[in-house]
Amino acid sequence: MAAMEVSLREVILPLDDATIVHPGHGPSTSIARERPPTPIWRICRWRSPDFPNCSRPSVSSSSRCSTGCGTPSKLHGFAPLETPAVESLDQLTRKGEIEKRGLRPAPAARRRRLERLRAGTALDLTVPFARYVLEHAGHLEFPFRRYQIQKVWRGERPQEGRFREFTQADIDVVARDALPFHHDVEIARVMAEALGSLEFLPRLRLQVNNRKLIEGFYLGLGATDIPAVMRNRGQARQGRPRRRHSTSAD
């Protein structure tokens, strides 16, 4: 796109307005008709660091990452899955605000169309996967094991070094009732094998934690609203303004 923009600015635009252009992919036109603002110029001028342009080395690295994550998942019996990029707003807003759960396109006309359709793009693969399981529960064999490598989009303003558009690799095991503990161990093994296969990464050290440990710590301090305390702790670590929650401690 950058090369196209340079060519248009330095070669085409300096020509006289009456110059006839034969593009080869449509009817003949003139320089005057093709001067900004036209759709191609709106595309060329629209730049955002939140949506990266991937060069050939980046695409190659991304492909190696996808292969490195997908191969161990297949060997452990996880089935590949792909879900639509667009989900209903009812699904996206079920567990959070729309700014966090989905990203709406910037053009007003497209945004109005999505609002009529009650749809938005998903932030992660969790919501689409949950919808898929609910819709196909009668045809799935449980525990259902799937891996998914797909592009998703952030709805909130990304932090430094992060993008609104990125690729997520996700594996999950879903059971009808209680899920045996050995599945947690297996997922950790798949993660270790996947990341360990990427030779350009530093040596892998996998550390395992359990949410119950921190919950027990706060219960020992006398806190009653454990989720609120953990939210405040997470926001404080990320530098976000903390909201007030009613908690009690001795």
Helix (H/G/I), strand (E/B), else coil: 7: helix
Q: Is the pLDDT of residue 188 over 80?
A: yes
Say if residues 7 and 44 touch (Cβ distance below 8 Å). no
Helix (H/G/I), strand (E/B), else coil: 169: strand
Per the prediction, the chain carries an average pLDDT of 76
d(CA 62, CA 56): 10
Measuring CA to CA, which residue among 164, 71, 172, 66 is closest to residue 127? 172
Q: What's the pTM value of the predicted model, to 2 decimals?
A: 0.58
CA distances from 16 to 4, 8, 31, 42, 132 (A): 19, 13, 7, 22, 57
In single-letter form, the type of residue at position 218 comes to Y
Say if residues 78 and 171 touch (Cβ distance below 8 Å). yes
The pLDDT tens digits for 74-89 are 999 999 999 988 777 7
β-strand pairing of 20-21 with 79-80: unpaired
Domain(s) labelled CATH 3.30.930.10 in the chain stretch across: 56-208
In single-letter form, the type of residue at position 142 comes to F
d(CA 21, CA 44): 19
Query: Predicted confidence band at 109 (pLDDT cuts at 50, 70, 90)?
Result: low
Helices in 50-179 by DSSP H: which ranges? 56-75, 89-92, 98-101, 108-117, 126-135
The predicted structure's pLDDT at residue 46: 43
Fold category of 56-208 in CATH: BirA Bifunctional Protein; domain 2 (3.30.930)
Regarding predicted confidence, which is higher, 42 or 208? 208
d(CA 166, CA 152): 6
The pLDDT tens digits for 124-154 are 898 889 989 999 999 999 999 999 999 888 7
